[in-house]
């Protein structure tokens, strides 16, 4: 993998770094902290050693006093190590500990002390278009997503298929999160039809022959493994009756596309439009995370059917974004933003589309989506 400057800035104190598997956490850390002592808990012999004797961590640190940074990769595999790291942070105040993870579920489930605030938490994401620069390709991003492990592969399609078909199931199986892996695999496909939509868990439960609580647990598993996000409806000072259910998205456009079953009745636009919406969301989430600003992402939908894809809301920040997977659109395509603007005239309005021209339609800024993704400074 060639060196690509990620937008997350190095930190000098101890920290957690959470992100989906394959998002490039380990690669970035090895580039930024080349002299660090790296402990890879995915290696079976290392995993078994620390699982059996977490206190070995103290001996390792005290036996390598020349090392000032220790990286523990996939900390959720041996959460008992957190107590050891807590002790070592207090004892060796000039030593930095970096703990990565692709799941917070086991840490939360076992009630492990998350270092009592002694380590901040950062999140890592698939590539940003701005990180790739001239190497970014919108068609490629829509087809295969932005995971570094896929983007840098000589065979992205096969790597993505392996990631979606093997890794997602193995990750769940390794953590012992579900009893019936076959049903969970069917769930991964079933919920893909709800990408970018409000999820009807009762219907999915009926389809899979499970109770609703089991399906709710499956969704929670995806959230804890950082594999999906659910957007709440924007309801601050609401002036209309709004829908209440959250919208569901897999975290990466390529992963969604791979998990979404396809057949003769599916048109390319059925999938391409949601893939583009997913790509915009994942880029917004990464940009907000790396900028370290307090902005929450919502969607807006009234019971009358008016909808806006994304609402970004924070202190001195209020933006409504609609995404259209077309080069041309009619005046009715602006209806959602216009309705939102009537209720919230303070909001900045943006329409993203597949065309090439940038212009303003009344108070709505119309932008080529590729230009927006490659330079999000307009926000």
Q: What is the pLDDT of residue 368?
A: 96
Q: Which of 379, 375, 342 is nearest to 363 (CA)?
A: 342
Q: Are 78 and 41 in contact (CB under 8 A)?
A: yes
Give me the torsion for CA of 224, 226, 229, 235, rounded to 10°.
60
Q: Residue 300 forms beta bridges with which residues?
A: 308
Q: Which of 246, 36, 11 is nearest to 124 (CA)?
A: 11
pLDDT in tens, 230-258: 999 999 887 878 888 899 999 999 999 99
Q: Parse the chain into domains and list their residue ranges.
A: 15-123, 129-378
Residue 47 Cα to chain centre, angstroms: 26
Q: What is the pLDDT of residue 263?
A: 73
Give the residue ranges of the chain where pLDDT is below 70.
1-4, 105-117, 168-171, 173-177, 265, 268
Greatest distance between any 2 Cα atoms in the chain: 69
Q: What is the pLDDT of residue 103?
A: 77
The neighbour count for residue 25, using CB atoms within 10 Å, is 26
Q: At 195, give phi and psi (nearest 5°).
A: -55, 130
Q: Residue 120 forms beta bridges with which residues?
A: 15
Q: What is the pLDDT of residue 331?
A: 84
Q: What is the CATH number of domain 15-123?
A: 3.40.50.300
Task: Specify burial of residue 237 (Cβ count, 10 A radius: 0-12, 13-18, 19+).
Answer: exposed
If you search the block for the tokens 């998990």, which residue do you land on? 259
- Residue 291 CB contacts under 8 Å (≥ 6 apart), including other chains: none
Residue 161 Cα to chain centre, angstroms: 18
In the sheet with 228-231, reading across from the earlier edge strand, the strands are 197-198, 247-250, 228-231
If you search the block for the tokens 């569901």, which residue do you land on? 248
Half-sphere exposure of 146 (CA within 13 A, CB side): 31
Q: What is the pLDDT of residue 233?
A: 94
Q: What is the pLDDT of residue 232?
A: 94
């Amino acid at each position: 993998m060639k060196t690509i400057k990620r937008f997350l800035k190095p930190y000098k104190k101890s920290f957690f770094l959470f992100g989906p598997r394959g998002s490039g956490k380990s690669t970035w850390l090895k580039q930024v902290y080349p002299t660090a002592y790296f402990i890879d808990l995915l290696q079976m012999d290392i995993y078994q050693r620390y699982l059996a004797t977490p206190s070995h961590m103290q001996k390792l640190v005290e036996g390598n006093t020349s090392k000032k940074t220790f990286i523990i990769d996939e900390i959720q595999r041996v959460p008992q190590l957190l107590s050891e790291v807590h002790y070592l942070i207090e004892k060796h105040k000039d030593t930095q500990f970096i703990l990565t993870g692709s799941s917070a579920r086991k840490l939360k489930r076992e009630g492990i002390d998350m270092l009592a605030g002694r380590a901040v938490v950062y999140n890592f994401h698939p590539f940003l278009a701005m990180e790739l620069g001239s190497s970014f390709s919108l068609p490629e991003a829509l087809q295969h997503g932005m995971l570094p492990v896929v983007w840098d592969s000589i065979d992205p399609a096969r790597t993505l298929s392996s990631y979606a078909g093997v890794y997602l199931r193995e990750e769940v199986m390794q953590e012992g999160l579900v009893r019936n892996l076959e049903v969970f695999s069917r769930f991964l496909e079933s919920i893909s039809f709800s990408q970018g939509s409000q999820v009807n868990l009762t219907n999915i439960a009926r389809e899979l022959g499970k109770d609703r609580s089991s399906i709710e647990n499956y969704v929670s598993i995806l959230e804890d493994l950082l594999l999906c996000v659910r957007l709440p409806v924007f309801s601050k000072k609401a002036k209309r009756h709004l829908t209440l259910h959250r919208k569901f998205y897999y975290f990466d456009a390529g992963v969604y596309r791979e998990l979404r079953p396809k057949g003769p009745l599916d048109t390319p636009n059925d999938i391409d439009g949601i893939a583009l919406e997913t790509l915009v969301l994942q880029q917004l989430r990464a940009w907000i995370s790396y900028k370290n600003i307090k902005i929450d992402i919502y969607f807006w939908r009234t019971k009358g059917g008016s909808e806006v894809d994304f609402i970004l809301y924070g202190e001195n920040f209020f933006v409504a974004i609609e995404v259209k997977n077309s080069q041309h659109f009619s005046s009715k395509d602006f209806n959602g933003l216009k309705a939102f603007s009537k209720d919230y005239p303070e909001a900045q309005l943006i329409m993203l589309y597949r065309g090439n021209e940038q212009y303003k339609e009344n108070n709505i800024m119309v932008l080529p989506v590729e230009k927006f993704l490659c330079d999000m400074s307009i926000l």
